[in-house]
Structure 1
Amino acid sequence: MFHSFFPKPKLFFLSFALWALICVIGWYSVIQDLGSALSLGSWFGVHFPDALASDADTAAQAAFQSAQSTALDVWLYQYMSLCYGLFVGFWMIYGGQKWSKWSVLGSAGIVFITWFQVQVSVMLNEWYGKFYDLIQNALASPNSIPIATYYSELSSVAIIIMVAITVAVLSNFFVSHFVFRWRTAMTSYYTSKWSQVRHIEGASQRIQEDTMRFASIVEGLGVSLLRSIMTLIAFLPILWSLSGYVKTLPLIGEVPQALVFTAIMWSIFGTLLLALAGIKLPGLEFKNQRVEAAYRKELVYGEDHPERATPISLEELFANVRKNYFRLYKNYLYFNIVRFGYINVGQFVPLIVLAPSIIAGAFTLGIMQRVLNAFNQVENSFQYLINSWTTIVELLSIYKRLKAFEAVINDGNLPKEDQTYMEK
């Protein structure tokens, strides 16, 4: 599943995680402070501004912050290019894998696009804060804000949205090709071993369908995990700073960094709750694939052999399909009760947490919007397992089916589930 596409998969993914951690720590601890000395932005007219005077007015401070932010962003892109170049260059040379151009370069591209989309979310969060402050001022003092100013603020977000849409469309196009290349690599490998695996139940389906589903789901879950981690890195400091506006929690009282505390506790509670509710689903999904494959296989044999696919045998096989589906529906019933109940209640958690501060008028409408958005971003990142649970269940089922191939290819024994089926 992985060796056919990625160079030395375990070492590749482990080295990526360690290298990413080193680069992130390096940036926040040392590298970002070296921008004024090492950045090449000055070649393009982007300079780090000189230090502000202690008595600088508000306009000067705003101009300084804008110039500093732009120069730091340019420096960050240079640093990321260097980190990417070193990692990709090493694995392109050391990996020596047929599909390295797609697996290594493609993975690097997907990681960068994911990071960029998170940065767009940060920019939108800042825009919402300014825009809702403008709305609050307009509502508090009628006709104090010119209509041109209102439309100007609205139009300023158009560029961000256009960039986000363009990146999303190109990303989906690229990922589709990435997934198909992965499927091609797996298909090529398994078909070369066809004589060893052809006797396994549903062998043709596992090669024709499961390879594509596996590559697509793993890519989707991997990107979701990366986005969750990157969102935490981007928004957790924002939520941490915004927690200064919220000093107390209902029923609990004063809590340091109340917003961060609430997001973490609520997410942990939901993750454990849904894991408990859905604990039986992976096994049922796997059994569902087996009974469907058995029913389909008998129908296929019946096309060429009159003695196969008799009404009695088909009725028995379909009874197994029906029985497993009904068990699956029953388990999804209480799983979805817990899941949708948790998600809908969660929409009101930040409003409940902010209640004392809202009543006390501790912040503006713009700050409130930034808090709600940042809270939701952090909460959703912590809820990766919750949001992905049904997809993970499907992936586990597919993984078990493809794992049977690899067990036979490596001269091992079939998993117990497949042995039971073969005996039947």
Structure 2
Amino acid sequence: MFRSFFPAPRLFFGSALAWLMLATVIWMTVGSTLQTYLSIDRFVILPTCEAVSPTEDLPQGQTAPDVAPPGEVQEDGIVAELLCLPEGTFFNAERVWLYQYVLIVALAFCAFWYVYKRNRWYWWSVVGTTTILIVIYFNVQVDAFVNDWQGAFFNTVQQALSQPGSVSPEEFYGGIFLLFIVLTPRILVLVLLAFFTSHYVFRWRKAMNAYYMGYWPAIRTTEGAAQRVQEDTMRFAQIMEDLGTAFFDALITLAVFVPILWTLSQHVADVPFLGDIPGSLVWVALVASAFGTVLLAAVGIKLPGLQFENQKVEAAYRKELVYGEDSADRATPPSVRELFANVQRNYFRIYWHYTYFNFARYGYLQLAGYIPLMTLSPAILAGTLTLGAYQQVQQAFGQVATSFQFLARAWTVVIELMSVRARLKRFESFIPQDEEPDENLVAAYMT
């Protein structure tokens, strides 16, 4: 499943984790020092819009020169800060260096595996996986920007509602325009990512297909061999891509949003049942998500085995029908009735077990959506939270809680993956362990 696509899978994933940890340590310890020498922020960042007093830092008696407002042309023909951005937003110096550092780390990892142990699928397995993770990181950074934007924008909305005429149309629509500037490229990136991952999944399936077919003379008589090679390789690659992307998205989201939510917890002085503790909102999200994950894992413990059994009875029924196409004495009414009865019996068991599992899953997910509101209720009633701060907390809490709830939300997909993996592992047990696949067959099936 993995050896066919990734070079030395255990070493590959282990080195990826070790490299990520090392890169994090380097960033935390000497990142600012490296920024001085390596960062390109001075060449690419846009100027920030700063509120400066007209007489600030001027000698006594001297007036400030006339400067056109942002976007207007001065007398010398230069546009004054046409594309200025608020402080601390998407393209300040620190963030440009962070993005550059992430790219350097990714390129170094790809270069190492290109030199050390490049396989025939290198550009998809190594470079493709790294590219997907970088795009996920970019998407999470956009979410972080939107979170910051919401805090400022909804405070402006609150001011406009409470003090009519205090907010100019330029200020209001300028905030919306800034959001569009950031979100428009994101739409294109997400479309391209969907296109790329579709090809990525098919290449993984092709790699597994070629690998198994390299052993085909030895395994072709195995029960369900055709289904394992044709169907389960496709399903495994698709589920792994979906789950893997969601998993790393959850990890990156936690890395970005936990510090944000920890800081926002300062706005909430009294959390129900926890009181006033540092990072209270983070702990609420963690406890609620852990409860949901444990609950669904316990309730759905029988489902993977039922899904595995379902494939067995379906395969037996399908195989008899295929034999019936070639032989008149196969697929007779008694045999078909018995095989289909097995299919029906297993499906009815699945339906029953999914009934109480879905009751727990939907109940938990519905109630979990109201945890931020209940957590913030004391601060709301006390009037210590602005509308902008509430929107920020709601957004950040939702991102962190959803990431913590990864297994709870994806448990049905995890069940299917466990079933597919069990079938492929059983199929692989018939592959000779002391020999490599026939490279001539692999090459023939790949072309």
Counterpart among 223, 233, 242 of residue 201 in structure 1 = 223
Counterpart contact for 1:122–1:234, Cα < 8 Å? yes
The residue aligned with 2:141 is 119
| In 1, Cα distance between equivalents of 2:219 and 2:257 | 48
Q: Does the alignment pair 1:181 with 2:193?
A: no
| In 2, Cα distance between equivalents of 1:364 and 1:40 | 37
| In 2, Cα distance between equivalents of 1:217 and 1:202 | 20
The residue aligned with 1:10 is 10
Counterpart among 67, 87, 101 of residue 109 in structure 2 = 87
Counterpart contact for 2:45–2:91, Cα < 8 Å? no
Counterpart among 230, 238, 253 of residue 275 in structure 2 = 253
Correspondences of 1:10-89 after superposition (within 5 Å): 10-44=10-44, 65-66=87-88, 70-89=92-111
| In 2, Cα distance between equivalents of 1:124 and 1:253 | 29
The residue aligned with 2:347 is 325
Deviates more, 1:37-46 or 1:106-115: 37-46
Give the 3 Å change call, closer, same or farther, for CA 227–133 of structure 1 in structure 2. Answer: same
The residue aligned with 2:395 is 373
The residue aligned with 1:420 is none
Counterpart contact for 2:222–2:430, Cα < 8 Å? no
Counterpart among 277, 291, 304 of residue 282 in structure 1 = 304
- Residue-by-residue CA offset, 1:5-35 (whole Å, 9 max, x unaligned): 1000010011101111221232133213542
Tell me which amino acid in the other structure corresponds to 1:118.
Answer: V
Tell me which amino acid in the other structure corresponds to 1:364.
Answer: T
3-state SS in 2 of match to 1:408? coil
Counterpart contact for 2:47–2:85, Cα < 8 Å? no
3-state SS in 2 of match to 1:253? coil
The residue aligned with 1:419 is none
Counterpart contact for 1:3–1:9, Cα < 8 Å? yes
Cα shift at 1:67: 9.0
Q: Does the alignment pair 1:342 with 2:373?
A: no
Deviates more, 1:120-129 or 1:24-33: 24-33
Counterpart contact for 1:5–1:186, Cα < 8 Å? yes
Cα shift at 1:401: 1.3
Q: Does the alignment pair 1:298 with 2:320?
A: yes
Give the 3 Å change call, closer, same or farther, for CA 315–243 of structure 1 in structure 2. Answer: same
The residue aligned with 1:101 is 123
Give the 3 Å change call, closer, same or farther, for CA 65–29 of structure 1 in structure 2. Answer: farther
Cα shift at 1:64: 9.5
- Residue-by-residue CA offset, 1:251-286 (whole Å, 9 max, x unaligned): 443333211110111111111111001100100000
TM-score normalized by structure 1? Answer: 0.90
| In 2, Cα distance between equivalents of 1:117 and 1:234 | 11
Cα shift at 1:81: 2.4
- Which ranges in structure 2 are unaligned for 5 or more consecutive residues? 58-83, 435-447
Give the 3 Å change call, closer, same or farther, for CA 14–259 of structure 1 in structure 2. Answer: same
Cα shift at 1:388: 1.4
3-state SS in 1 of match to 2:331? coil
The residue aligned with 1:229 is 251
Q: Does the alignment pair 1:160 with 2:182?
A: yes
TM-score normalized by structure 2? Answer: 0.85
Give the 3 Å change call, closer, same or farther, for CA 41–153 of structure 1 in structure 2. Answer: closer
Cα shift at 1:411: 5.5
Give the 3 Å change call, closer, same or farther, for CA 411–27 of structure 1 in structure 2. Answer: closer
Over the aligned positions, Cα root-mean-square deviation in angstroms equals 2.4
- Residue-by-residue CA offset, 1:214-271 (whole Å, 9 max, x unaligned): 1111111111111111000100000000000112122443333211110111111111
3-state SS in 2 of match to 1:199? coil
Counterpart contact for 1:32–1:75, Cα < 8 Å? no
Q: Does the alignment pair 1:139 with 2:187?
A: no
3-state SS in 2 of match to 1:30? helix
Cα shift at 1:97: 1.1
3-state SS in 2 of match to 1:248? coil
Cα shift at 1:151: 2.6
- Which ranges in structure 1 are unaligned for 5 or more consecutive residues? 413-424
Counterpart contact for 2:89–2:145, Cα < 8 Å? no
| In 2, Cα distance between equivalents of 1:42 and 1:370 | 30
Tell me which amino acid in the other structure corresponds to 1:7.
Answer: P
3-state SS in 1 of match to 2:92? helix
The residue aligned with 2:241 is 219
| In 2, Cα distance between equivalents of 1:172 and 1:67 | 27
Tell me which amino acid in the other structure corresponds to 2:307.
Answer: E
Tell me which amino acid in the other structure corresponds to 2:232.
Answer: D
3-state SS in 1 of match to 2:6? coil
| In 1, Cα distance between equivalents of 2:339 and 2:86 | 73
Tell me which amino acid in the other structure corresponds to 2:318.
Answer: R
Counterpart contact for 1:264–1:382, Cα < 8 Å? yes
Give the 3 Å change call, closer, same or farther, for CA 47–13 of structure 1 in structure 2. Answer: farther
| In 1, Cα distance between equivalents of 2:89 and 2:176 | 23
| In 2, Cα distance between equivalents of 1:233 and 1:253 | 25
Deviates more, 1:24-33 or 1:373-382: 24-33
Tell me which amino acid in the other structure corresponds to 1:4.
Answer: S
The residue aligned with 1:389 is 411
| In 2, Cα distance between equivalents of 1:8 and 1:218 | 18
Tell me which amino acid in the other structure corresponds to 1:358.
Answer: I
Structure whose CA Rg is larger:
2
| In 1, Cα distance between equivalents of 2:28 and 2:235 | 38
Give the 3 Å change call, closer, same or farther, for CA 357–66 of structure 1 in structure 2. Answer: closer
Tell me which amino acid in the other structure corresponds to 1:382.
Answer: F
3-state SS in 1 of match to 2:301? coil
| In 2, Cα distance between equivalents of 1:203 and 1:351 | 53
Aligned identity (percent) is 47
**Structure with a larger share of its residues in helix:** 1
Cα shift at 1:397: 0.9
Counterpart contact for 1:92–1:101, Cα < 8 Å? no
| In 2, Cα distance between equivalents of 1:119 and 1:67 | 10
The residue aligned with 1:271 is 293
Cα shift at 1:119: 0.5
